[in-house]
């Protein structure tokens, strides 16, 4: 049985940008008491705290923004990478291009772009759009992968300044520091803790080709789920 359990957040531990379901909370707390738990997401640490109604201090570690901000179980900051102003300006310009090209109806134009500090994020519909619309928009991420594939020259330009892009969550494209994805930062965290990779497991909903969990494949054992209910069934049947 794994000693150290890494979880994606949105659509794995909790619905997209929404709190963990109430029946799942006691199971999560029990798991945190019995195993090392690490939450890994493209979101910020404040987003993790908002979605998981369990204090992180002493309970679980956080690898936010694809792991580019790492906070230990005791609350200590281990590292925090920073996106530069030059990188932000270039990504904002590219995001504006995508918005104009897609021409989608959105509730709030100011809800499409976030500088999270260690990464940048763009949502095609808006981060706080209704979840039903978000889940229906691009469930297999194929639309966002095609969108990025149609802009190879712009992505090449971003790579030259140290940024790469990938679909994430339900409507998002994450712009991360090149090479510093979930797989890289999970490796970094395991090495910091001195854990055995064979005693770890990663649970996520985007382990398919092109998904933002794919970079964890080959780093540690993985288990794919399709939503929080599947995650907590796996916890009950395999981890507790």
Proportion of the chain above pLDDT 70, given as a percent: 100
> Is residue 42 very low, low, confident or very high in pLDDT (cuts 50, 70, 90)?
very high
What residues does each domain of the chain span? Answer: 4-81+180-239, 85-177
Query: From 1.20.1540.10, 3.40.50.720, 3.40.50.1000, 3.40.50.300, which CATH number describes the 4-81+180-239 domain?
Result: 3.40.50.1000
The pLDDT assigned to 6 comes to 98
The tokens of 127 are what? Answer: 């981060």
Local confidence band at 103 (pLDDT 50, 70, 90 cut-offs): very high
pLDDT, tens digit, 9 for 90 and up, residues 62-93: 999 999 999 999 999 999 999 999 999 999 99
The pLDDT assigned to 186 comes to 98
Name the CATH code of domain 85-177 (choices 3.90.1150.60, 3.30.1240.20, 3.40.50.300, 3.40.50.1100). 3.30.1240.20
pLDDT of residue 25: 97
pLDDT at 27 over 90: yes
Residue pair 227/206 in contact by the 8 Å Cβ criterion: no
pLDDT category of residue 169 using cuts at 50, 70 and 90:
confident
Helix or strand run (H / E) with residue 223: strand 222-224
Which of helix, strand or coil describes residue 13?
Answer: coil
Give the whole-angstrom CA distance, residue 26 versus residue 33.
11
| Residue 212 Cα to chain centre, angstroms | 7
84-115 b/e with 16+ CB inside 10 Å = b? eeebeebbeebbeebbeeeeeebeeeeebbbe
pLDDT digits (tens, 9 = 90+) for 211-236: 889 999 999 999 999 999 999 999 99
Share of the chain above pLDDT 90, in %: 92
> Average model confidence (pLDDT) for the chain?
95
Report residue 66 as tokens: 């694809």
Q: What is the structure's pLDDT at 140?
A: 87
**Do 69 and 79 touch, CB atoms closer than 8 A?**
yes
Three-class DSSP labels, 97-153: HHHHHHCCCCCCHHHCEEECCCEEEEECCCCCCCHHHHHHHCCCCHHHHHHHHCCHH
d(CA 11, CA 160): 32
Greatest C-alpha distance within the chain = 49
Residue 228 · residue 20 · CB < 8 Å: yes
What does the pLDDT read at residue 212? Answer: 86
Residue 173 in contact with residue 167, Cβ under 8 Å?
yes
Radius of gyration of the chain (CA): 17
Q: Tell me, what's the pLDDT at 136?
A: 93
The mean pLDDT of 125-129, rounded to a whole number, is 93
**pLDDT tens for residues 146-166?**
999 999 999 999 999 999 999
Helices 85-102 and 152-160, axial angle in degrees (round to 10): 170
Look up the pTM and report it: 0.89
pLDDT band, very low/low/confident/very high, at 207 (cuts 50, 70, 90) = very high
CB-based contact 170:137 (threshold 8 Å): yes
């Amino acid at each position: 049985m794994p000693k150290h359990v890494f979880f994606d957040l949105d659509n794995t531990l909790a619905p997209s940008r929404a709190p963990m379901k109430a029946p799942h909370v006691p199971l999560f707390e029990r798991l945190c008491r019995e195993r090392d738990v690490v939450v890994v997401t493209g979101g910020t640490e404040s987003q993790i705290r908002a979605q998981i109604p369990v204090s992180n201090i002493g309970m679980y570690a956080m690898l936010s923004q694809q792991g580019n901000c790492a906070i230990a179980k005791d609350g200590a900051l281990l590292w925090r990478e920073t996106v530069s102003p030059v990188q932000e300006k270039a990504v904002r310009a590219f995001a504006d291009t995508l918005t104009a090209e897609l021409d989608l109806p959105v509730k709030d134009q100011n809800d499409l772009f976030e500088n999270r500090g260690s990464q940048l994020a763009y949502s095609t519909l808006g981060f706080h759009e209704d979840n039903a619309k978000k889940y229906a928009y691009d469930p297999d991420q194929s639309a966002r992968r095609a969108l990025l594939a149609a802009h190879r020259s712009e992505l090449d330009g971003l790579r030259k300044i140290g940024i790469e892009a990938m679909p994430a969550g339900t409507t998002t494209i994450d712009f991360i520091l090149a090479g510093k994805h979930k797989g890289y930062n999970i490796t970094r965290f395991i090495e910091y803790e001195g854990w055995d990779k064979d005693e770890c497991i990663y649970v996520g909903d985007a382990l398919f080709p092109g998904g933002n969990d794919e970079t964890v494949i080959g780093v540690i054992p993985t288990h794919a789920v399709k939503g929080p209910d599947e995650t907590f069934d796996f916890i009950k049947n395999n981890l507790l």
